[in-house]
Structure 1
Amino acid sequence: MFTPRVQALAVLLVAACVLGLAPILVRLTETGPAAAGFWRFAFAMPLLLAVTARPASLGGEGAGTPSRWMGLAALFFVLDLSFWHYGIVMTSVANATVLCNLTPVVVTLFAWFAFRERPRRLFIVALGLALAGAFAMSAGADGGQGTNPRLGDLFSLSVALWYAGYFLAVKAARRTASAMRVMLWSTGLGLPLLLGVSLMLGEDLQPATLAGWAACAGMGLMHVVGQGGVAWALGRLPAALTAVTILIQPVVAAGLGWWVFGETMTPVQLIGGAVVLTAVVLAQWSATQKKGAEAEASAPVS
């Protein structure tokens, strides 16, 4: 029988893989980058409302009222999507996804000081390996994709800060609310903000074809399953471990970018992806060892 921790890790891994679809769907929406984020939220809202409106006997809890942490999560997520979606258009899928997932550097340091989640030495080694693998995936790209690779890389790199803020705000919100309630309010509060950004930038708001609409709807489903899974896991796992495990996302996205758009995966990128996966395994093992050591230290002496 799986322990709650193993279940949380399994959900997190699935959620990270689902989120790997995001850069592919953004390019297929046929809208502006920020508008793609708006439709992601718009199609997600009915699903989130349906989940939270279920009878209490089926696990429903109602919408409730938003906390300040939920509002902060919405703000950070709007900044995250706005910068990242432009990065996806301007650079390669691999670069955009890898650079934005340098979030663990920020999350680990903040969680260490704010949440007192002090990492083990092996975890720091795993983090270094993950970042080295992520850098290899970025540096090893052939540079031929995107409309403005250098600016796209810069936008994607800034997302690491915004996503870290979102990550930590959700972590704090999960102390008093369920994952779906946090998702409902962070999405609902962010919806008009993304619409305002897309209108201010004069973007194309509506897809031109049914395929574009399908991509928008797919983003909504991906948002609920992917971000919902991450929010759920954040209530059960250390923030630093969750952030490193999410680094599987760029590996999935890079593979999909090669398959769907023909973006070349160079040998260096392939090695970098393997290093990231190895680092995730080491991080999980390190966290498990730490939990076992803490349990042994707190056991009564006979």
Structure 2
Amino acid sequence: MSTPLISPKLAAPGLVLGCVVFGLGSVIVKFVPVGGYAIAFWRLALAAVVFWLLMRFFGQRLPKSSRARRFALLSGVFLAFDLAFWHESIHAVGPGISTLLNSLQIFFLAAIAWFFFGERQTRLQLVSLVIAIGGVLLIASPELRHNLDAGYGILMGLVSGAMLAASMACIRQTHTAEPTALFPLMLLVSLGGAAVLILPSLLLNADALYPTTWRDIGLILIYAVVMQCFAWGLIAYAIPLLSLTLTGLLLLSEPVAALLIDYFWLHKPINGWQWAGAALTLLAIYLGSLKPRKTPKAA
């Protein structure tokens, strides 16, 4: 059995770091003139090359289980459309609101955890879910009032959240079928996603299929290597080590990061209700991370 790259105790903070870096990719998507489906294809295709090289360098192997391979590829399919729809939402309503809408995947993760994995939420987790939902709504509501005509972007942002939740659930199923090393797992995820995006990219982004300047090429390389290989790799590592409910709560660190990016980097005005929403979201993450105390058994 291969030695983990990082300690399992660091799964939760690693997931948060991965989400924050993942969210930074929205800024690149905003300023690179490549179609939403096409840039998702390039991100996954380039990442597949990096993960193949890392897999060979570290001597890791693809899973032997055909079920594990199928779930890893299927995770890539869902991730591909999560990225593509998220990119479409970024172009329609901007990085901040698109990331906030994508973060509503917590609803879908909780539903998947309940119906498919039998994860029963504790009262504290249910309270934290309600607080988290309220926090995200406080952050997003002013944006929604100013973007009532951007129905397409809002819809794409919401659907991308469902795709992200499904991708994460498939990663969990991959490990259930066969414990899989990180680099082979991410290679399969990237290959599955890139393959399914070839046709949509050609059909829907024919006029913006590839970068045309060295600056844009460099940004896409950063998007693939840093956001896909590093950030998504951390997320994929952490998912099987945490419950899906806690995973969903920790992923809410991404919209908070998006809010800070909008304010400090893009100089977007943020009102008091949105800052209150960020505080509530962080409180929900803390409450959701608390483990219930075990009742001592009677002698």
Partner of 1:26: 29
Paired with 2:113 and 2:132, the residues of 1 have a C-alpha distance of: 18
Partner of 1:164: 165
* Structure 1 residue ranges, 4+ long, deviating more than 4 angstroms after superposition: 142-146
Paired with 2:25 and 2:242, the residues of 1 have a C-alpha distance of: 24
Moved more, 271-280 or 201-210: 201-210
Change in CA separation of 1:149 and 1:264 when aligned onto 2, cut-off 3 Å: farther
Q: Deviations over 1:252-299 (max 9, x none)?
A: 1222133333333222222111111111011001xx22xx42xx55x6
Is 1:218 the counterpart of 2:243 in the alignment? no
Is 1:61 the counterpart of 2:60 in the alignment? yes
Percent identity at matched positions? 24
| Counterpart secondary structure, 2:249 | helix
Paired with 2:9 and 2:63, the residues of 1 have a C-alpha distance of: 30
Partner of 1:123: 125
TM-score (norm 1): 0.88
Paired with 2:243 and 2:190, the residues of 1 have a C-alpha distance of: 23
TM-score (norm 2): 0.88
Partner of 2:134: 132
Q: Which amino acid aligns with 2:261?
A: L
Q: How many residues align?
A: 287
Is 1:50 the counterpart of 2:53 in the alignment? yes
Q: CA deviation at 1:161?
A: 1.4
Q: CA deviation at 1:88?
A: 0.6
User: 2:41, 2:80 within 8 Å by CA — same for their partners in 1?
Assistant: no
Q: CA deviation at 1:113?
A: 2.9
Partner of 1:283: 288
Q: Which amino acid aligns with 2:158?
A: L
Partner of 1:84: 86
| Counterpart secondary structure, 2:208 | coil
Paired with 1:229 and 1:85, the residues of 2 have a C-alpha distance of: 21
5+ long unaligned stretches in structure 1: none
5+ long unaligned stretches in structure 2: 1-5
Q: Which amino acid aligns with 1:168?
A: A
1:107 alignment partner, one of 98, 106, 109: 109
Partner of 2:261: 256
Partner of 2:3: none
Alignment of 1:144-223 (within 5 A): 149-175=150-176, 176=178, 177-201=180-204, 202-221=206-225, 222-223=227-228
Is 1:245 the counterpart of 2:250 in the alignment? yes
Q: Which amino acid aligns with 1:234?
A: I
Paired with 1:247 and 1:23, the residues of 2 have a C-alpha distance of: 15
Paired with 1:25 and 1:145, the residues of 2 have a C-alpha distance of: 21
Paired with 1:204 and 1:260, the residues of 2 have a C-alpha distance of: 26
